[in-house]
Homo-oligomer: A and B are copies of this chain.
Amino acid sequence: MSHNTFGHLFRVTTWGESHGPAIGCVVDGCPPLIELAEADIQTFLDRRRPGQNRFTTQRREPDSVRIMSGVFEGRTTGTPVMMMIENVDQRSKDYSDIKDKYRPGHADYVYMQKYGIRDYRGGGRSSARETASRVAAGALARKVLGSGVRIRGALVQVGEIAIDRDAWDWETVDRNPFWCPDPQTAARWEDYLDGVRKAGSSVGAVIEVVAEGVPVGLGAPIYGKLDADLAQAMMSINAVKGVEIGDGFAAAALTGETNADEMRMKDGAVSFTSNHAGGVLGGISSGQPVVCRFAVKPTSSILSPRATVDREGNETEIVTKGRHDPCVGIRAVPVGEAMMACVLADHLLRARAQGQAS
């Protein structure tokens, strides 16, 4: 069983709390002979790192990763790769006033009910800080997948403002603080989120992650479906409330004629004329781009007082004053990419084991 482990053959076990000495992960099952340096991991951690602009939490963490095992003379050895990130800017005092009050939308109440104890400093284990470990593991997963598989994510909706999909330009994604593929929408979000931030409020978002170059045949029937594992992976990210593959919920309104991705031959290979399926048929990759979207709820930490109760069962109010994201969905983009990479790497190893004919 795997409360803190993700994946089967490419297995990621994360550990650590927001305000402990460090966080990290153990990746078991990574094949040997992969060239790996800390810089390979750091690149992706830097993309996720908080405090880089005014739209994400102002916690200042260098998020420097250290590879503690599993690498010898610059290559993986097939033994567990432990990657550790020290916590530096913790400011435990910020959280002292919420020690006994349950923040609405947070896990405070359920942790206390379940465990009878919680590390209330910065959310403890339920902090989004844990996602740094996912990003580290995802960077390694990309190495396992190799350069033929390209995984990119983008923010496609912030609050009520969605991008213009016809304007999608991957080149733009890295040029704005939102990973937005549509520059005009990015500009609108900037104004919009400034207002949200100044009001001490928050909004939700939708992220889309696309994997190109995925070989045919990843995934397995029934309970080892690629799309089911992606759904689990994305839903396991903090604050995610919905996951779609391909057309997702829009598929419900289509007819069978429209939804069918017809097949033709092209250069001697099977080619699809559309991708409503999002690259997955019967739980198995079809060779088309794997397309996954997920919705992130608005950050629960806001400046408006909310009604709540405390540990002793008294009704009270709470205002969360800490350093938080007006739109936690922004930082979820690299996390979604990382989860896509981990799921695909796991299924690549599974396919090798289990009868890939081609």
Contact = CB atoms under 8 A, between A and B. Distances in A.
A286 B1 contact: no
A6 interface: yes
A93 to B, nearest CB: 16
A355 to B, nearest CB: 4
A297 B251 contact: yes
Given A3-B28, A204-B251, 18 more contacts: A2-B224, A3-B224, A4-B221, A14-B223, A21-B68, A31-B355, A77-B115, A105-B260, A106-B282, A109-B270, A111-B221, A113-B357, A203-B254, A227-B235, A228-B232, A241-B248, A262-B308, A263-B308
Most chain B CB neighbours (cut-off 10 Å) among A104, A219, A250, A300: A104
B263 A104 contact: yes
B216 A114 contact: yes
12 contacts: A17-B72, A21-B68, A32-B115, A109-B263, A110-B285, A113-B216, A114-B216, A114-B217, A203-B252, A242-B244, A251-B297, A262-B306
Contacts of A222: 3-4, 6, 14, 125, 130, 236
Nearest to A274: B104
Contacts of A230: 235
State the copy count for this chain.
4
A212 interface: no
Contact of A28 (B4, B32, B252): B4
A244 B241 contact: yes
A358 interface: yes
Nearest to A80: B15
A3 B17 contact: no
Contacts of A139: none
A76 B117 CA distance: 8
A221 B69 contact: no
Nearest to A75: B117
A282 B299 CA distance: 13
Interface string A54-82: 00000000000010111011011111111
